Structure 1
Amino acid sequence: MRLVQVFVPRDELDLVIETAEEAGVDYTVSRDTDRGEFEALVSIPVPPPAVEPLLEALRAAGLDERSYTVVTAAETIVSKRTDELTGRFSGTRISREELRARAADLAPAASTYFGLLIVSTTIATAGLLLDSAATIIGAMVVAPLMGPALAASVGVIVDDESLATRGIALQVIGLAAAVLTAAVMGWALRGTVLLPPGFDITTVPQIRERITPDFLALFLALGSGVAAVISLTRNVGSVLVGVAIAVALVPPAATAGLGIAWGDPPVVLTAGTLVLINMLSINLTALLLLWLSGYRPERTESVERVYGRLRSRVAVLLVAIVILSVVLGGITYGTYRTATVEHDVKTELETMNEAELAAGSELQFRETAIDYELIDVYTGGRPTVTVHVDRPPGEGLPDDFADDVRDRLESAAGVDLEVIVELATTLRSG
C-alpha cells in the first residue's frame, strides 16, 4: 500500500476532496490552523497501481503544481477496507513518479559512484589475475552499475532529459574509469613478485573467458536488462540484479584494461567488444520493457515526441548491437576453429599412440603444444604443433618421420600445420 499526502494550497481543498471522492478512495483531512501557504494536509491510502491514476486526476482537476504531493510506502495497514481497494486496482506496477524517484536514487552522487566503481574494479582485477571466481563475484556486489543504466532508460521514457543524460554519462565515464583502473593496476603489478615471470594473461581461465566470448554472452546482458526493470518497477531483488549487471560489465572492462597494461590489442578488442555489446543490450531491453509496461511522459503532448526519440534510440542501439555482433560472431567462429584444431590434433595423437601400442612399439607421443591464436584464423597464420616423442634407446626412425606425423595431423585437423617433432630417448629401469 501507499500513502499519498497532498499539501493543499489555499482555496484548493474542495478540488482535492472532490477528486478523491470521484476516485472512490478513502481520505482524511488535517487542517492547518496558521496562516501559511497551505490550508490542509489530505492523506489518501491507496494500492500502488492506484497512485498514478490518482495523481493524474489531481493534475487534470487543476491542482497547483507548486503544492507538495508525497507518496510513501505503508509497510502495514490494518483495515478490511483495503481488500476492496486492492480488488479495484489490480496489478503490481508502481506509478511513473515513483519510477522516476527510484531511478534517480539508484544513480548515486558522482563521488560515491566512482569511488565504489574503482574499488569494485580493483577487486575484480585482482580476482582475474588470481583466477578466482569468488573474488570476482564479491567485487560485483560493490559495483553500482545498475542505477545509471536504469536512470538513462527511465529518463528517456518519462521525458526527463537531465536524468537520461546523467545515466548515460555515468555509464560511459564509469566504464572508461573501470578500464583505466584495471590498466593502471595491471601496469603496476606487471613484473613484480606478485606475478610469476613471463606471466601471460591470456592463459588465465577467468581472463580467457572474457576474451573468447560467444553469442551466449548476450543472454546475460539481455536477461540483466529485463531483470533490472522488473526489480525497479516491483522493488524486489535489486542487489542480486545489480550483481548480474556488474558481472556483464566490470570483468570484461577490467580485462580490457589488463590488455592495455600488457600491450595486447586482441585482448583489448575482444573484451572491449563484450563490454560495449553488454552495455547496449542492457539499455535496449530496459527501454523496450519500460515502454511496453505502459510508462509514458507526464504530459500527453510529450508522448509523440518521446515515442519518436525512443524509436531513434532503439534503432541506434540495434544497429550498434548488430555491428558488434558481427565482431562477436567472428570471435565465436575463430574460437570454435582454434578449439576444433586443438581437439582434432590431440585426438589423432591418441589414436597414433594406440596404433603404436598395438604394433608392439614403445614409441609414444607424450606431449603436445599447439600455438594457434584467434587472430591466426583470419590472418592465415598456420597453427604450430609441437609433438614430444619418446623412443627407446637404439630405435631408429625414418627420415621422413616428421613429415608423416605432419601429414596425419593435417588430415585429422583439415588445415595446414607446421609440426615440430621433439625426440627424446627414454631409459627405463627394470
Structure 2
Amino acid sequence: MLHLRLITPAEQTDEVVRLIEDTVGTTHLAVIPGAAREPAGDLVMCDVAREAGDMLIAGLRRLGLDDAGSIAVENIDLSLSRRADKAEEDAPGEGADAVLWEGLTEATHEESTLSVTYVAFITLATMIAACGVVLDNAILIVGAMAVGPEFGPLAGICTAMVRRRPRLALRSLTALLVGFAAAMAVTVGFSLFMDAVGLFHRSALEGKRPNTAFVYAPDAFSFIVALLAGVAGTLSLTSAKSGALVGVAISVTTVPAAANAAVALAYGDMSQTLGSTDQLLLNLLGIILAGTLTLLTQQFLWNRRQQRP
C-alpha cells in the first residue's frame, strides 16, 4: 500500500476527493479543512493499493495539484485493516508488478544528478578498482563494483527513453560521461603517484593476472552478463519486492574496466587501455539496451492488464 498526503487549494478539494473516491483501490480517506499553511489549503490523506497508485498520481497531476499544492507519497510497510485488504483485492493486477512511473522518474532524476558526492563515489570506486587490478585482487574489484554509483544514470537514460524525457536523458548522460571522465583522470594521477612511491609496478599490470584479466578482454559473455544485469537492475528499481541492486552492481565490470584503462594509460599500455575501454562501452550499451527493453515490456504488459475488465 501507498500513503498519499496531499495539500489542496480549498477550491480544488472536492474535485480531488471525487478523484480519490472514483479510483479503485483507495481507502482510509481523510480531509482536514484549512490545516495547511504553506501552501495554504486543505490536508487530504488516503491510502491506495500500489497497483492503482500510478493512475491516481497521474490524475492528481492532471489537476495541477503538483503546482498549486503538494503530493507526497510514502510506502506503507504494515497496514492492519480489512479496508486496506479489500482495496488491494479490488485494484487490478499485482502490487509487485506495478510500476510507479512518477516515482521511478523522480528516483532516477535524483540518482542521475551530477554532484560532488556522485563524482566522489565513482572516483573512489575507480581508485579502489585500480588497486585491485594491479594487485590482481578480486575482492577489491568486487568492492569497487559495489561502491560505484553508475547504475543511477544508466537507469535514468532508460527511463528517459521510455518516458520521452529529453532533459532527464541529457542529465543522466552528462552525469555518466563526466563522472567516468573525472574518475579516470584522477585515477591516472593516482596511478602515477603510487608508481612514484613504489606501490604500483608496470610489471604487475602486464604480468599474468588470472583474477582480473577479464576487465580488459571483452567477449560475448561480457555483453550477455550486461544484458542480464540490465534486466535485473531495472526490475530492482521498479518492483516492490526486490532489493537486488547491489548484486547487479557487482555483476558488471564498468568501474573495473575504467580503472584498468586509467592505470594502463598511465603506463602507456594502449593495448590494455583500448581493451578496457571496449569492455566499459560494451557493458554500458548492454545495460542501457536491456533496461530500456525491460521498461517497455513492463509498460506494455501493465497497460494490457489495466485494460482487462
Indicate the TM-score class for this superposition, using the shorter chain for normalisation: 0.7 to 0.9
For 1:75, what is the secondary structure of its paired residue?
coil
Q: Does 1:113 align with 2:115?
A: no
Q: Does 1:5 align with 2:5?
A: yes
Q: Does 1:260 align with 2:265?
A: yes
Q: For residues 7 and 206 of structure 1, do their structure 2 counterparts lie closer, same or farther at Cα, with a shift above 3 Å needed?
A: same
1:157-176 alignment, distance < 5 Å? 157-176=162-181
The number of equivalent residue pairs is 294
1:45-124 alignment, distance < 5 Å? 45-59=47-61, 65-89=67-91, 90-91=93-94, 92=96, 93-107=98-112, 110-124=115-129
How far apart, in 2, do the equivalents of 1:64 and 1:217 lie?
Answer: 43
Q: In the alignment, is the contact (CA less than 8 A) between 2:135 and 2:204 conserved in 1?
A: no
**202-211 or 106-115: bigger deviation:** 202-211
Q: In the alignment, is the contact (CA less than 8 A) between 2:138 and 2:212 conserved in 1?
A: no
**34-43 or 108-117: bigger deviation:** 34-43
- State the shift of 1:216 in Å: 0.8
How far apart, in 1, do the equivalents of 2:265 and 2:66 lie?
Answer: 56
How far apart, in 1, do the equivalents of 2:247 and 2:228 lie?
Answer: 10
How far apart, in 1, do the equivalents of 2:78 and 2:175 lie?
Answer: 36
Q: For residues 196 and 61 of structure 1, do their structure 2 counterparts lie closer, same or farther at Cα, with a shift above 3 Å needed?
A: closer
- State the shift of 1:78 in Å: 1.5
Q: For residues 4 and 131 of structure 1, do their structure 2 counterparts lie closer, same or farther at Cα, with a shift above 3 Å needed?
A: same
- State the shift of 1:123 in Å: 1.0
Pick from 247, 250, 254 the counterpart of residue 244 of structure 1: 250
How far apart, in 1, do the equivalents of 2:224 and 2:163 lie?
Answer: 27
Pick from 265, 274, 278 the counterpart of residue 269 of structure 1: 274
How far apart, in 1, do the equivalents of 2:220 and 2:67 lie?
Answer: 49
1:222-272 superposed Cα distances (whole Å, 9 cap, x missing partner) = 111111110110253254145236x42011111111221121221111111
How far apart, in 2, do the equivalents of 1:77 and 1:142 lie?
Answer: 34
1:83-122 superposed Cα distances (whole Å, 9 cap, x missing partner) = 2211222322232111112212323551001111111111
How far apart, in 2, do the equivalents of 1:60 and 1:94 lie?
Answer: 19
Q: Does 1:284 align with 2:289?
A: yes
How far apart, in 2, do the equivalents of 1:171 and 1:233 lie?
Answer: 21
Q: Determine the structure 1 residue equivalent to 2:33.
A: 31
1:300-311 alignment, distance < 5 Å? none
Q: For residues 201 and 185 of structure 1, do their structure 2 counterparts lie closer, same or farther at Cα, with a shift above 3 Å needed?
A: farther
- State the shift of 1:200 in Å: 4.8
For 1:99, what is the secondary structure of its paired residue?
helix
How far apart, in 2, do the equivalents of 1:287 and 1:66 lie?
Answer: 33
Query: What is the TM-score normalised by the length of structure 1?
Result: 0.63
Query: What is the TM-score normalised by the length of structure 2?
Result: 0.86
Q: For residues 196 and 42 of structure 1, do their structure 2 counterparts lie closer, same or farther at Cα, with a shift above 3 Å needed?
A: closer
- State the shift of 1:81 in Å: 1.3
1:12-411 alignment, distance < 5 Å? 12-24=12-24, 25-26=26-27, 27-32=29-34, 38-59=40-61, 65-89=67-91, 90-91=93-94, 92=96, 93-107=98-112, 110-190=115-195, 192-195=197-200, 198-235=203-240, 236-241=242-247, 243-244=249-250, 247-294=252-299
1:177-197 superposed Cα distances (whole Å, 9 cap, x missing partner) = 233233223323336532468
Tell me, which stretches of 5 or more residues in structure 1 are unaligned? 296-430
- State the shift of 1:207 in Å: 4.2
How far apart, in 2, do the equivalents of 1:64 and 1:273 lie?
Answer: 44
**115-124 or 200-209: bigger deviation:** 200-209
How far apart, in 1, do the equivalents of 2:135 and 2:198 lie?
Answer: 14
More helix by share: 2
1:166-225 superposed Cα distances (whole Å, 9 cap, x missing partner) = 111111122222332332233233365324685452522344222222111112211111
Q: Determine the structure 2 residue equivalent to 1:330.
A: none
Q: In the alignment, is the contact (CA less than 8 A) between 1:191 and 1:197 conserved in 2?
A: no
Q: In the alignment, is the contact (CA less than 8 A) between 2:232 and 2:248 conserved in 1?
A: no
